[in-house]
Amino acid sequence: MVDYLKLAAIAFGTAIIIHWLVIKIAHKKGWLDTGRQNRPQDIHTYPVPRFGGVGVLIGMLAALALNPFNIWSVPQIGWVIAAAFLMTAVGVIDDVYNINPYIRLVTNTISAVLVVVGGGIRINFITNPMGGVIHFDHVGVWLAVVISIIWLVWITNMINFSKGVDGQFPGLISLGLLAVGGLSLRFWPDPLAIATFVLALTASAGFAGLLVFNIYPQKMMPGYSAGSLGGFLLGVVSIMASAKLAGLFIIMGIPVLDGIYAILRRLKQGRSPVWGDNQHLHHLLLNNLKWSKSTVAVFYWVTTFLLGILGLYLRSYQKMFTIALVTILFASFIIWLKRFFITLKPPESFNG
């Protein structure tokens, strides 16, 4: 246990130092998000640097360099780090220049290919809630590869949507990684299970380091570098921990459902789903319920924590019922926020 705490402390401390340095450099170079870039999803009102992924990645690597559990002997880890480097590098470029979302989507796919084809991190099967197992690799390796790539690209972008409020994103990612990584403990002491947990633990600590500077009032935004890295690592760890679709869906239920809702909403409006808007759940909580940014962030943390605890103990058939219940509750909440929130407002005074 002491060794795990030491790894987490190194990742956390290194991330804090790197984030502090990045903030200083960003202000000196003028690499700041002013909040006035004609992007409807922006809600901050003063210049803030992005680049959150840099400190998270370096914090992870500083901890993993100690290698007390010999995790580098697990070949998948090297491919994950290579893909994380690519994801973060593209994210940093986007944090400066706001590159086209379709270019980002292509690089998401390349990163997914690296870990799926190169590292062999694949969804070869899923548990059938009605009993038994559905094997994709029995049809052909190509099917497992395609499904795994789609899953990683999809979850990377779904999770990335939930980073609009101070402290929201690094808090929920840190908790989510711990919960998903905890699922790998079922296969202890398998070397892949140990490597998976260590990867999740160090990444979680790195995002906790980002939270120090992102909590209200934020001094640093996650940016696309941290947003894409967080979603990608969650997807990778979910496969390595054999949590796969249902487990991660439950643990990250709120951001995943919000992402699905965003895509359906934009398609219904005849818009491309890759372009942002100001109708995410956190926007509705701010604008309709008049919650503070801190309250919205805590809401995301608490729901992720509770769903994470739930996801650790559910059996396969229970997960499907839980997913259905969370989906119904989320949809009902959104409908109430968009249609009936006006009942919460006091009546306007008669102006004659």
- pLDDT for res 350: 35
Look at residue 39 in the predicted model and tell me its pLDDT.
Answer: 57
Longest Cα–Cα distance in the chain: 78
Tokens (6 digits) for 78: 């090297």
**Which pLDDT does position 244 carry in this prediction?**
62
Q: What is the pTM of this model?
A: 0.89
CB burial readout 203-212, b (16+ within 10 A) else e: bbbbbbbbbb
Tens digit of each residue's pLDDT (9 = 90 or more) over 71-94:
888 999 999 999 999 999 999 999
Query: What is the tens place of the pLDDT at every residue in 18-61?
Result: 999 999 999 999 998 876 555 556 666 788 999 999 999 999 99
| CA-wise closest residue to 105 among 267, 242, 274, 252 | 274
Beta bridge partners of 33: 48
Could you tell me the two tokens for 6?
Answer: 């030491």
Q: Identify the bridge partners of residue 27 per DSSP, sorted by sequence position.
A: none
As given in the structure block, the two tokens for residue 270 are 């005849």
- pLDDT beneath 70, residues of the chain: 1, 35-44, 128-132, 137-138, 243-244, 316, 341-352
**Helix, strand, coil abundance in the chain, percent, nearest 5:** 70, 0, 30
Distance CA 349, CA 323 (A): 44
SS3 readout for the chain: CHHHHHHHHHHHHHHHHHHHHHHHHHHHHCCCECCCCCCCCCCCCCCECCCHHHHHHHHHHHHHCCCCCCHHHCHHHHHHHHHHHHHHHHHHHHHHHCCCHHHHHHHHHHHHHHHHHHCCCCCCEEECCCCCEEECCCCCHHHHHHHHHHHHHHHHHHHHCCCCCCCHHHHHHHHHHHHHHHHHHHHCCCHHHHHHHHHHHHHHHHHHHHHHHHCCCCCCCCHHHHHHHHHHHHHHHHHHCCCHHHHHHHHCHHHHHHHHHHHHHHHHCCCCCCCCCCCCHHHHHHHCCCCCHHHHHHHHHHHHHHHHHHHHHCCHHHHHHHHHHHHHHHHHHHHHHHHCHHHHCCCCCCCC
pLDDT score recorded for residue 4: 87
What pLDDT sits at residue 171? 95
Q: How far is CA 247 from CA 76, 260, 304, in A?
A: 21, 17, 12
The rounded distance, in Å, linking the Cα atoms of 210 and 56 is: 7
